[in-house]
Amino acid sequence: MDTLISLLIEMKKKIEGLMERLNIVAKIRRAEQLEAQSSEPGFWDSPDAAQKLMQELASLREEIERWQNLSNRIEDAVELAQLEDHSLQDELTKEAEALTEIVDRMALQAMLSGPYDRENAIFSIHAGAGGTDSQDWALMLERMYLRWAEQNGYKVEIIERSEGEEAGIKSVMMNIRGDYAYGYLQSEQGVHRLVRLSPFDAASRRHTSFAKVELWPDIQTGIDIEINEKDLKIDTYRAGGAGGQHIQKNDTAVRITHLPTGVVVQCQNQRSQNQNRERAMQILKVRLFEMQRQKQEAQLLALKGENVDAGWGNQIRSYVLHPYQMVKDHRTSHEVGNTGAVLDGRLNDFMETYLRAKIENRNLVPVVEE
């Protein structure tokens, strides 16, 4: 019984720690404020604003109730175990096993508690410095993430893809759909470095290639971004696959350039020009919204005196295929020697290590050892 009591007490401490990190107490206060606000006269005079607040309240209530119920359930189990009634041991053992599974699941969800973590993701890969090698590396990354998505039950839709001149791809943008797609993939945004013997070098010399991964939450509603049509340059072109496959006879693909920011969005996967334009506009809004959010976060971090520069040169992860085999994340120092498994999509350990470091408020600026 002592072992069971110790297990339940450790579980209780873990949940209390997670609730503290998630600011459940502050969320309870916020829910109370919203409940009081919703009872005020004239609350529904502005239906759109009222609806947003009610959605926020419903989400807070759900989260608070979930954590409080689990905490209470563990507390009840601890109290029963401390009675040391051995006739309850089998029942309490089963309860502890069930609670362990729930706590593990809730701990993972705690790592995915950001405002957009549950959203689908818009995910892009861009070949960087390194010519044909980097374009081939971008293609390898595309394959890696497609394998990861398949293994974890996510659906993928290619939005736009640009082939390389000799091999590989210049860029690809895809929509990854499923619960917590954005939450998991946030660990992947940044520069990825490949070191290998180049298959495109006649002398088989070692080359270093770079590719950049970008990520945005695929927010369908609630983006307050107004775009002036005068600020847009819209081009149309014919969509087609690799080697001229499935080339459209009409200019159905759409490229939108937002002139004030230089943001370019392309979409070619829909059947009509209007559908591609509509989807491209949605992605543009998401990107502008994310730029605005990141700017606000950078300003807050600058006030704190923290370094927020994570430029192109600060690769987040290195994949070394020669002279030894290793994949290392430079933010968390997590590394594995089985490069083949990683390139086949086994990325969850890297993702979860990053998320644990993030929730523990550890410094996640890449540290590259040359």
- Mean pLDDT estimate for the chain: 86
Domain count, the chain: 3
**Per-residue pLDDT at 7:** 92
User: What tens digit of pLDDT does each residue of 88-111 get?
Assistant: 888 999 999 999 988 887 887 788
Confidence of residue 145 (pLDDT cuts 50, 70, 90): very high
Strand pairing partners for 328? 318, 335
* Domain's final residue, options 259, 286, 304: 304
Choose between 48 and 232: higher pLDDT. 232
- Nearest CA to 185 among 127, 250, 120? 120
> What number of other Cβ atoms are within 10 A of residue 207's Cβ?
20
Q: Categorize the per-residue pLDDT at 302 as very low, low, confident or very high, splitting at 50, 70 and 90.
A: low
| Judgement on whether residues 192 and 256 belong to the same structural domain of the protein | no
User: Which CATH number does the domain housing residue 247 bear?
Assistant: 3.30.160.20
Domain CATH number, residue 48: 1.20.58.410
| Secondary structure of the chain as H, E, C letters | CHHHHHHHHHHHHHHHHHHHHCCHHHHHHHHHHHHHHHCCCCHHHCHHHHHHHHHHHHHHHHHHHHHHHHHHHHHHHHHHHHCCCHHHHHHHHHHHHHHHHHHHHHHHHHHCCCCCCCCCEEEEEEECCCHHHHHHHHHHHHHHHHHHHHHCCCEEEEEEEEECCCCCEEEEEEEEECCCHHHHHHHHCEEEEEEEECCCCCCCCEEEEEEEEEEEECCCCCCCCCCCHHHEEEEEECCCCHHHCCCCCCCCEEEEEECCCCEEEEECCCCCHHHHHHHHHHHHHHHHHHHHHHHHHHHHHHHHCCCCCCCCCCEEEEEECCCCCEEEECCCCCEECCHHHHHCCCCHHHHHHHHHHHHCCCCCCCCCCC
**321 falls within a domain:** no
**C-alpha dihedral sign at 111, 119, 223, 162:** positive
Tell me whether residue 283 is in a domain: yes
Based on the domain organization, do 6 and 94 belong to the same domain? yes
- Same-domain check for residues 259 and 296: yes
Say yes or no: 209 and 339 in one domain: yes
Rounded mean pLDDT of 78-83? 90
d(CA 181, CA 157): 13
User: Same domain, yes or no, for 165 and 244?
Assistant: no
Please give the structure tokens belonging to residue 166: 């000799």
User: What pLDDT does 105 receive?
Assistant: 78
Task: At 305, list the tokens.
Answer: 């005196």
Residue 206 structural domain? 121-218+331-359
Confidence of residue 242 (pLDDT cuts 50, 70, 90): very low
Provide the CATH number for the domain around residue 191.
Answer: 3.30.70.1660
Q: Are residues 201 and 349 in the same domain?
A: yes
Order across the sheet with 263-267: list the strands: 232-237, 253-258, 263-267
| Range in 136-145, 194-203, 215-224 the model is least confident about | 215-224
Closest CA to 168 of 215, 128, 203: 128
Closest CA to 20 of 130, 118, 154, 113: 113
